Amino acid sequence: MYYQMITPITGFSKLKKEEKIDWLLKTYLQDSENSEKVLKQYWNENDAVQQLHEEFTENTLSNFYLPFGIAPNFLINGKLMAIPMTTEESSVIAAASKAAKFWQTRGGFKVEVQNTIKNGQVHFIYNGDHEKLNQFFKASKSAFFDAVSSITKNMRKRGGGVLEIELLDKTDLVDDYFQLHCTFETKDSMGANFINSCLEKFADTLKEEAAKFQDFNVEEKQVEVIMSILSNFVPECLVKVEVSCPVSELYDDNHISHDAFADNFLTAIKIAEVEPYRAVTHNKGIMNGIDAVVLATGNDFRAVEAGIHAYACKDGSYSSLTHASVENGIFKFWMEIPLALGTVGGLTNLHPLVKVALEILQKPSARELMEIVAVVGLAQNFAAVKSLVTNGIQQGHMKMHLMNILNSQNATPGEKEELLHYFKKHTVTHSSVAEQLERIRN
């Protein structure tokens, strides 16, 4: 590969968009004419919308589009819903839709938010007398709540705010390490900015109160705050979702009995519960559905991913998030996960498609959105495991992936039509598609 010597650039962020693109074309992109065309063809023709997108982040050159689709027929707590999903992966929306249709005639999804507590910490170093630190915290605790009264005023009007502040001794983990562990209720807001603002004020208050606490000596007054930040691990912000039906209604295929299918399904879940190699892929399938709804509704899918995967390790090893059982002829499939979501603030008020997504969902509260997201995750996993223990996952996935293969081979509309018909009865692989394209073209 050809590399040229690159001179570092200063003041890049201050350049206009066109100037940034010109520099990029001259410095890194050899096929500059085509690259410039690609960058600019994704600009929104509406200047106001384009400006809005450019202000979401820094050094914006263009927009990166992902498909915005819909999965209908979700019966959630007796309410029929269509779910907006944003994803580039083939078969995700199809699988969710298929699972939704299946359970819609079997009582639908039952889901309940168990709690909405979020948390954050002020991490600090203190190398003095531990008992004196405990006394200091008891004497000063009210000062922390008072210090954020102006920040929490509006949140408290909505029923939220700071719930509790605890002093935790973590010196068994790191020398002289303590933390203020703080819990919050942020109602319909995801609450990241609110929580971090409170935590930074707590950090300032910690230093100020320590400096004037009479029982501390000069050295003990020098409390060293390391950082103040929310946690994306929210094990108390939980939602539980489940489906159930008689085993006799679970599967209808001449090649396998209802009982055999249920046994295979339960075994597949048990494997994911005990085998981390399988559990990671198993849970990734759940996140296919969760991330797609989280992204479509303008929430932080990276935070959701981090928190859920941490929760999958809560018992000491990485394990399946979903579980299944059969008792007295009834199949039950369920999942409990932490979700910190919002329906106000951030992109929910700014991104035009996010507004449409929330409108489709009938303008849900944060708790309702937690329920919807969890439902889609369970549906996605049911569809995946059902495929794995019957026909295998590639049969359905590769048929959905066929159009991507055809596009990568520059197939014409006529060629696509013919091969879509052909592969209704044949196995889809990259090589088989290439062979059939060559046959048509020759």
Based on the residue annotation, tell me whether 89 is a catalytic residue of this protein: yes
Residue tagged active-site, from 123, 201, 351, 397: 397
| 284: annotated active-site residue | yes
Please pick, among 110, 207, 258, 284, the residue that the annotation labels catalytic.
284
Please count the other Cβ atoms lying within 10 Å of the Cβ belonging to residue 309. Answer: 16
Residue of 188, 300, 368, 371 marked catalytic: 300
- 170 catalytic? Reply is no
* Those residues with Cβ within 8 angstroms of residue 205's Cβ, 6 or more apart along the chain or in another chain: 140, 143, 144, 147
Q: Of 22, 36, 54, 89, which is the active-site residue?
A: 89
Name the residue among 191, 187, 174 with its Cα closest to residue 227. 174
The residues assigned a catalytic role are 89, 284, 300, 397
